[in-house]
């Protein structure tokens, strides 16, 4: 077997498409097909179920993929190692949680361009769990996501916490009495929240479930500013990052609700492949900038 056959196999599994794999490898589709066939012949097994669309691996093919993915990571690290004297160039594939993007990414990308002008950042947003899976699968080089501070990462990934992010339960101004409330008391108002998959929503559901309550969802929406506007209009309670509440155009029409049995807090993490090589210097620039932005966001604004 040859390395180019291993790389072709990994590309096909990741994209679940021969044509997309061919595009990513700058090859023709027949060339990729030949490499896959040669690889299967060398191993003496069928790696794909060719009766399925999109293309899926056989059980043995999935096991082989896990080994091949590790090989490709190590080869990529080796290639980076021998080009350490060259300036960083190419593409850094970065996944970012939407909240992180709202608070910190504009400044972080400016810092990255200043430190590594020949490096292009390709940024996509999404929820934490899918982004982590993409890093593990090699579709992303790194991700900046919101996770519990005690989160244990898979052995194939490395990461560090960049700081904590406090969340606030918010209500229309004057709609709740100025006292400490319980989650049970909040139930009658219902909630305006991000779609399923949001870590904030999952934490709230877990806290409610522990008390025997189901989440009362009045409206599902995407984006903190829209959520805050709907809460201010009386649609329900919201759960948002405190730094984004402070800078919101709707802040004057909202109250922060003190809840005795729900103290939501989450950490900002940067997570990367262990075989990232010299790209780690680019991530160090991003990490420092994001950490500074969240530290600044935690400070109360001057009156």
Highest mean pLDDT among 42-46, 196-200, 239-243, 290-294 belongs to 42-46
Structure tokens at 179: 């006292």
Residue 103 · residue 145 · CB < 8 Å? no
d(Cα 170, Cα 191) in Å, to the nearest integer? 10
- At residue 206, the pLDDT reads 87
Instruction: Kindly give the pairing relationship between strand 217-220 and strand 157-172.
Output: unpaired
Nearest CA among 73, 10, 16 for reference residue 36:
10
Cβ neighbours of residue 60 under 8 Å, at least 6 residues apart?
Answer: 45, 46, 47
Summarised one tens digit per residue, pLDDT across range 60-76 is 998 999 888 888 877 77
Q: What fold characterizes domain 165-265?
A: D-Maltodextrin-Binding Protein; domain 2 (3.40.190)
Task: List the single range of 29-38, 212-221, 245-254, 278-287 with lowest mean pLDDT.
Answer: 278-287
> If residue 266 lies in a helix (H) or strand (E), which one and from where to where?
strand 265-273
Summarised one tens digit per residue, pLDDT across range 26-39 is 889 999 999 999 99
Pick the CATH number of 3-81 from 1.10.4160.10, 3.40.50.11540, 1.10.10.10, 3.40.50.1370: 1.10.10.10
Q: In the chain, where does the domain assigned CATH 3.40.190.10 lie?
A: 90-163+274-298, 165-265
pLDDT-based confidence at 186, cuts 50/70/90? very high
Q: What fold characterizes domain 90-163+274-298?
A: D-Maltodextrin-Binding Protein; domain 2 (3.40.190)
What's phi and psi for 251, nearest 5 deg? -55, -40
Q: State yes or no: pLDDT of 231 exceeds 90.
A: yes
pLDDT-based confidence at 52, cuts 50/70/90? confident
Instruction: Kindly give the pairing relationship between strand 90-97 and strand 119-126.
Output: parallel
Q: In the chain, where does the domain assigned CATH 1.10.10.10 lie?
A: 3-81
Interior/surface letters 226-239, b for 16+ CB within 10 angstroms, e for the rest: ebbbbbbeebbbbb
- At residue 195, the pLDDT reads 84
Question: Residue range 126-147: average pLDDT?
Answer: 87
d(Cα 250, Cα 248) in Å, to the nearest integer? 5
Highest mean pLDDT among 41-45, 66-70, 123-127, 266-270 belongs to 41-45
d(Cα 301, Cα 247) in Å, to the nearest integer? 9
Question: Residue range 163-177: average pLDDT?
Answer: 90
DSSP string, 158-226: EEEEEEEEEEEEEEETTSS-SS-B-HHHHGGG-EEEPPTT-HHHHHHHHHHHHTT----EEEE-SSHHH
Q: State yes or no: pLDDT of 301 exceeds 50.
A: no
Structure tokens at 27: 């090859």
More confident residue, 153 or 38: 38
Question: Residue range 31-58: average pLDDT?
Answer: 90
CA-derived radius of gyration, the chain: 23
Q: State yes or no: pLDDT of 303 exceeds 60.
A: no
d(Cα 119, Cα 167) in Å, to the nearest integer? 34
């Amino acid at each position: 077997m040859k390395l180019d056959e291993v790389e072709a196999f990994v590309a096909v599994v990741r994209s679940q498409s021969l044509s997309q794999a061919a595009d990513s490898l700058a090859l023709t589709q027949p060339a990729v097909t030949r490499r896959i066939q040669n690889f299967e012949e060398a191993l003496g097994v069928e790696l794909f179920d060719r009766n399925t669309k999109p293309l899926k691996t056989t059980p043995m093919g999935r096991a082989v993929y896990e080994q091949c993915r590790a090989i490709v990571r190590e080869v990529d690290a080796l290639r980076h190692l021998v080009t350490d004297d060259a300036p960083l160039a190419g593409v850094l594939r970065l996944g970012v949680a939407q909240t992180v993007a709202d608070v910190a990414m504009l400044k972080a990308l400016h810092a990255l361009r200043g430190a590594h002008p020949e490096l292009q950042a390709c940024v996509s947003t999404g929820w934490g769990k899918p982004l982590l899976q993409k890093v593990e699968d090699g579709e992303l080089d790194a991700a900046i996501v919101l996770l519990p501070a005690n989160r244990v990462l898979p052995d194939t990934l490395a990461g560090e916490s960049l700081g904590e992010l406090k969340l606030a339960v918010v209500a229309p101004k004057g709609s709740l009495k100025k006292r400490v409330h319980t989650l049970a008391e909040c139930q009658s108002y219902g909630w305006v929240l991000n779609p399923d998959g949001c870590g904030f929503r999952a934490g709230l559901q877990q806290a409610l479930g522990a008390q025997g309550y189901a989440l009362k969802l009045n409206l599902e929406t995407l984006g903190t500013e829209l959520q805050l506007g709907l809460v201010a209009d009386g649609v329900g309670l919201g759960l948002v990052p405190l730094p984004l509440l402070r800078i919101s155009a709707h802040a004057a029409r909202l109250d922060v609700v003190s809840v005795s049995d729900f103290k939501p807090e989450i950490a900002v993490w940067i997570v990367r492949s262990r075989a990232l090589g010299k790209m780690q210097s680019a991530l160090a620039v991003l990490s420092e900038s994001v950490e500074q932005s969240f530290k600044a966001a935690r400070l109360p604004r001057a009156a």
